[in-house]
Chains A and B, each alone.
Chain A
Amino acid sequence: MRILIVEDDLEAAEVMDRGLTEAGHECVRAPDGEDGLAATRGGEFDVMIVDRMMPRMDGVTMVQTIRREGDQTPVLFLSALGEITDRVDGLKAGGDDYLVKPYAFAELIARVEALSRRRETGSVQTLLRVGELEMDLIGRAVHRQGKEIDLQPREFQLLEFMMRHAGQSVTRTMLLEKVWEYHFDPQTNVIDVHISRLRSKIDKGFDKPMLQTVRGAGYRLDP
């Protein structure tokens, strides 16, 4: 994946660059919005990571500009502003996701990869398939090896999200945000409990476990 990193904190950009490169991606760096804008005009990117507050041109202005020019590349905003209003502002400006600083690197990679996947699935799907697992989105039914798995509505949504991001790490915060649509910070392992319930339904009685725990990051659904 080609990733554009627009961040004025050069050390943070360097760390991001290294981590993403190690994860197999190709990164281009820009120190502010104006250079970022120039970079988007110079080449195609799969995802852009844009800091909100930068000298010369801030992230919101930059993203608004590229959106006006018709560039639909997914954007992940990074910001030290973590209030809900700040998040809403960022998403309104054309951002696709919003990550508050400081963040865990695993969270950043998970969100970047989730964004790139989003672009590929532009058309409406009615059937999701990951390995032995099959999800009928219209009939609201899930089968593994042809055997029907009975899921609660929320478990169904949780599995749907995991299947759409199969092979990628997804973090607990991402799940709370995307499946439950809440942005708070639970002290207890709320999400873990739900995942373990889902896991017992889709993995119990089968040879190969599909729902993996990724240490320090979250979970991953493997085919």
Chain B
Amino acid sequence: MRLPRLFRTTPFRLTLLFLALFAAAASAFLAYIYLATAGEATRRTDEDIGREMRALQAAYERGGANVLNQSLIERAASERPFLYLLMTKDGKRISGSIEESPVEEFTGAPARASFSVTDIDVNGRERKHPARGFQEQLRDGEILFVGADISEDQAYVLKIVRALWGAGALVIVLGLLGGLLVSRNVSRSMAGLADVVTAVRNGDLEARAQVRGTRDEFDELAEGLNEMLDRLERSMAGHRHAGDAIAHDLRSPLTRLRARLETAYLDVEAGKGNAEEALAQALEDTDGVLKTFGAVLSIARLQAAGQAPDQNVFDPAELGGDMAELYEPVCEDKGLDFAAEFAVDLQVRGNREFLAQALANILDNAVKYTPSGGAIMLRVRRRSSGEVEYSVTDTGPGVPDGDRERVVERFVRLENSRSEPGSGLGLSLVAAVAEAHGGRLELAEGPGKVGEMGPGLRVALILPRAA
């Protein structure tokens, strides 16, 4: 049998556990109160009985058995709450308010006894009252017993105990109700979160948990869950977009490739045409497709991983130096001035290969778009924020302010760059590399317009300071 859902929830189980602990503690407390109050009442009764006993003994000392007997009869007839019995040394009753001593096998030494006395109440019903008393042997051998009805004391203790039990039961009932209420509340919040998880598992990526604004841990959890889902949705959208983009970008070169191969095949079949040239072109097209594919894959993997793999701490100037050494002759060949400037004693943490690829992409762009006679500058410096910045500044036509964000997107190529070879993925990869290092990519205007040149572009790859 399965319990109703509410009773299976953790908060409800916790409530039960706490109630059980509380009940155990309350029982121990009650036991203590009972022992303390009942003990106190008995002690007080014993004291009273002792005092009475001493008063009777004083009368005996004064005038012997006769005076004692008289005093006893007087006292028994009065309203005093005591029970008396005076006996001969053989245990025969002489006088008193009870018929026989409750002490069995009296040896002569002072003795005490707990017993009960029977009483007729106003309704004529017999009632037994608990009582206790002392028995002592007097100087000449007579035996005196003094006792007291303790039913009133006990009733008082019982009243306290009953009150305590009542309070305990009330607390347990209230605790159970409170626990149920809290459990229901908590279970509802949990069920809300669980519903979202179920919805997402069933493919609804747009499901979101409700944030109630109470700023408690459920809100925190809900916010965390929503944030995670937002990221997941964005990433999925990114992948879908990348998928579309790949399909789009691979389709055109693949179509070209197919057409070229087909034409070549037909030409060769007809015994004319140049198959060799078509094949060479087809190979080149294939390489183009593979390059695009590789770049898209790298971007997708970096974005999926969130962080570049195999990061090490190294001197950014070293990588800058290698890149400068690689690209300086390329610039010179194209008639471009090349300069490099590296700050010393810096450290960055990153994947050298990915960063090299990113810098190569930036430098490739600069070389490609800067007309001969222009200049390119590679610089590594520390920003006042402590971040490390690689920047490449060129004197090419630059990118208009409104387009700077767009050119970083995948496959975006500006009008005047379409004549140049390129996949439109270079800066997207740089941005992905920057993000995978916790950094960013910044595009700004270059040195400005100088004659026909400019205004240029400044591309900065900014990396966080190495911890």
Task: Given the known inter-chain contacts A82-B294, A185-B291, please indicate yes or no for A190 contacting B356, CB distance below 8 A.
Answer: no
A139 within 8 A of B: no
Contact B309 A187 (CB under 8 A): no
Residue of A nearest to B368 (CB): A188
Contact A185 B426 (CB under 8 A): no
A186 CB contacts on chain B under 8 angstroms: 326, 360, 364
Partner of A83, one of B301, B329, B421: B301
A214 CB contacts on chain B under 8 angstroms: none
Contact A88 B325 (CB under 8 A): no
Q: Provide the bound-state CA to CA distance between A196 and B367, in Å.
A: 18
Contact A85 B327 (CB under 8 A): no
B351 CB contacts on chain A under 8 angstroms: 84
Partner of B326, one of A85, A88, A190, A196: A190
Residue of A nearest to B284 (CB): A216
Smallest CB separation, A172 vs chain B (Å): 12
B280 CB contacts on chain A under 8 angstroms: 216
Q: Provide the bound-state CA to CA distance between A183 and B351, in Å.
A: 12
Smallest CB separation, A204 vs chain B (Å): 16
Q: Using a Cβ–Cβ cut-off of 8 Å, how many residues does chain B contribute to the interface with A?
A: 31
Task: Tell me which of A84, A88, A154, A196 has the highest count of chain B C-beta atoms within 10 A of its own C-beta.
Answer: A84
Task: Given the known inter-chain contacts A85-B310, A180-B322, please indicate yes or no for A187 contacting B422, CB distance below 8 A.
Answer: yes
Smallest CB separation, B310 vs chain A (Å): 6
Interface residues in A175-192 by Cβ distance below 8 A to B read 180, 182-190
Binding site for A on B (CB under 8 A): 280, 283, 287, 290-291, 294, 297, 301, 309-310, 322, 325-327, 329-330, 333, 351-354, 356-357, 360-361, 364, 367-368, 421-422, 426
Q: Provide the bound-state CA to CA distance between A88 and B326, in Å.
A: 24
Contact B353 A84 (CB under 8 A): yes
A102 within 8 A of B: yes
A185 CB contacts on chain B under 8 angstroms: 291, 294, 357, 360
Interface residues in A142-182 by Cβ distance below 8 A to B read 154, 180, 182
A201 within 8 A of B: no
Contact A190 B290 (CB under 8 A): no
Contact B322 A193 (CB under 8 A): no
Contact A184 B357 (CB under 8 A): yes
B301 CB contacts on chain A under 8 angstroms: 83
Smallest CB separation, B25 vs chain A (Å): 59
B330 CB contacts on chain A under 8 angstroms: 188-190, 193
Partner of B353, one of A182, A194, A196: A182
Contact A88 B310 (CB under 8 A): yes
Q: Provide the bound-state CA to CA distance between A85 and B426, in Å.
A: 22
* Given A84-B353, A216-B280, 7 other A-B residues pairs in contact with their CB atoms under 8 A: A83-B301, A180-B322, A182-B352, A182-B353, A187-B360, A188-B367, A197-B329
A187 CB contacts on chain B under 8 angstroms: 360-361, 364, 368, 421-422, 426
Contact A184 B360 (CB under 8 A): yes
Residue of B nearest to A183 (CB): B353
Contact A184 B353 (CB under 8 A): yes
B322 CB contacts on chain A under 8 angstroms: 180, 182
Task: Tell me which of A85, A188, A190, A197 has the highest count of chain B C-beta atoms within 10 A of its own C-beta.
Answer: A188
Smallest CB separation, A33 vs chain B (Å): 26
Task: Given the known inter-chain contacts A83-B301, A84-B353, please indicate yes or no for A193 contacting B310, CB distance below 8 A.
Answer: no
A-B CB contact pairs (8 Å), 21 listed? A82-B297, A83-B309, A84-B309, A102-B290, A180-B322, A183-B353, A184-B353, A185-B291, A185-B294, A185-B357, A185-B360, A186-B326, A187-B360, A187-B421, A187-B422, A189-B330, A190-B327, A193-B329, A194-B326, A194-B329, A216-B283
Smallest CB separation, A202 vs chain B (Å): 16
Smallest CB separation, B287 vs chain A (Å): 8
A104 CB contacts on chain B under 8 angstroms: 287
Smallest CB separation, A116 vs chain B (Å): 26
Residue of B nearest to A102 (CB): B290
A182 CB contacts on chain B under 8 angstroms: 322, 352-353, 356
Residue of A nearest to B293 (CB): A102
A85 CB contacts on chain B under 8 angstroms: 309-310
Interface 1/0s, chain A 77-98, versus B by CB < 8 A? 0000011110010000000000
B297 CB contacts on chain A under 8 angstroms: 82
Q: Provide the bound-state CA to CA distance between A154 and B287, in Å.
A: 28
Q: Provide the bound-state CA to CA distance between A21 and B22, in Å.
A: 87
Residue of B nearest to A181 (CB): B322
